[in-house]
């Protein structure tokens, strides 16, 4: 596993420089997005328990995808044709990822667990009620890493839709020294995507607590499902 602290320092320094020069993020996108698309286009995907995803899509109802923040990049790319919605941070440090998600076909709901949380969750619930697939990161936008907060489940409960746990691992990847150890699969990496068993969230506080406990177990299980059967080392954490 490669920790790219120098690369992250360089990126942060570049972002500060661009901010001080008041360079529009869209101008940066002219360079960043083509490179990101080229790298992502080289990834080779495998899917585990694909029927869980296909069944929910075929049902034609909305559902929430629950994934750890560190896996956003490969999962966003793999599901770019799903016409999905993603809840993104209002913070400046989430701007470039948000712009990339929007550029590849996602609709954005802005907010997070720390800023604009209530409005974002209500907006996510409305999207779910309207039949959208909504991706949410229960540990985002700033952690703690892999600590599940109940916002995803609360939005699904309000909308009356299931929650699908999703995870991804790569056989070769860079890991940033960020709070989540953000995963960037290397060019031509193999990426394995696993879908867990959908979680139903019944009405009331008691059922929300039951679903929260089930979700923690489900995220552990879907991570195990994503491991390579041939014993290939994986970049999961």
How many degrees, rounded to 5, is the angle at CA 108 between CA 113 and CA 144?
25
pLDDT band at 31 (very low <50, low <70, confident <90, very high): low
How many degrees, rounded to 5, is the angle at CA 231 between CA 227 and CA 233?
75
Question: What is the C-alpha separation between 81 and 216, in angstroms, rounded?
Answer: 28
Q: Token digits for 152? A: 């995803």
Residue with the larger pLDDT of the pair 205 and 23:
205
pLDDT in tens, 144-193: 999 999 999 999 999 999 999 999 999 999 999 888 999 999 999 999 99
Candidates 84, 63, 43, 19; CA nearest to 168 is: 43
Task: Give the pLDDT of residue 1.
Answer: 35
Superfamily of domain 2-225: Glycerol-3-phosphate (1)-acyltransferase (3.40.1130.10)
Candidates 70, 155, 165; CA nearest to 117 is: 155
Domain positions in the chain are: 2-225
**Percent helix, strand, coil in the chain (nearest 5)?**
45, 20, 35
Exposed / middle / buried, residue 197 (Cβ in 10 Å: 0-12, 13-18, 19+): middle
Percent over 90 (pLDDT), the chain: 64
Question: What is the C-alpha separation between 85 and 136, in angstroms, rounded?
Answer: 9
* Average of per-residue pLDDT across 36-47: 94
CB 122 within 8 Å of CB 136: no
């Amino acid at each position: 596993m490669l920790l790219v602290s120098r690369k992250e320092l360089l990126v942060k320094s570049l972002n500060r420089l661009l901010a001080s020069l008041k360079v529009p993020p869209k101008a940066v996108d002219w360079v960043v997005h083509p490179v990101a698309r080229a790298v992502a286009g080289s990834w080779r995907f495998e899917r585990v328990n694909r029927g869980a995803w296909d069944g929910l899509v075929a049902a034609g109802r909305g559902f929430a995808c629950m994934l750890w923040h560190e896996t956003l990049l490969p999962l966003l790319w793999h599901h770019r044709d799903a016409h999905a919605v993603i809840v993104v941070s209002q913070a400046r440090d989430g701007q470039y990822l948000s712009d990339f998600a929007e550029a590849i076909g996602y609709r954005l709901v802005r907010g997070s667990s720390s800023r604009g949380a209530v409005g974002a969750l209500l907006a996510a619930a409305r999207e779910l009620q309207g039949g959208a697939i909504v991706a949410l990161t229960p540990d985002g936008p700033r952690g703690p890493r892999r600590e599940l907060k109940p916002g995803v489940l609360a939005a699904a409960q309000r909308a009356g839709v299931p929650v699908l746990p999703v995870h991804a691992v790569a056989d070769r990847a860079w890991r940033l020294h960020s709070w989540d150890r953000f995963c960037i699969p290397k060019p031509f990496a193999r990426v394995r995507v696993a879908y867990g068993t959908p979680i139903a969230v019944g009405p009331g506080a008691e059922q929300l607590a039951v679903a929260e406990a089930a979700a923690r177990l489900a995220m552990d299980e879907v991570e195990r499902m994503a491991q390579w059967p041939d014993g290939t080392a994986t970049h999961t954490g």
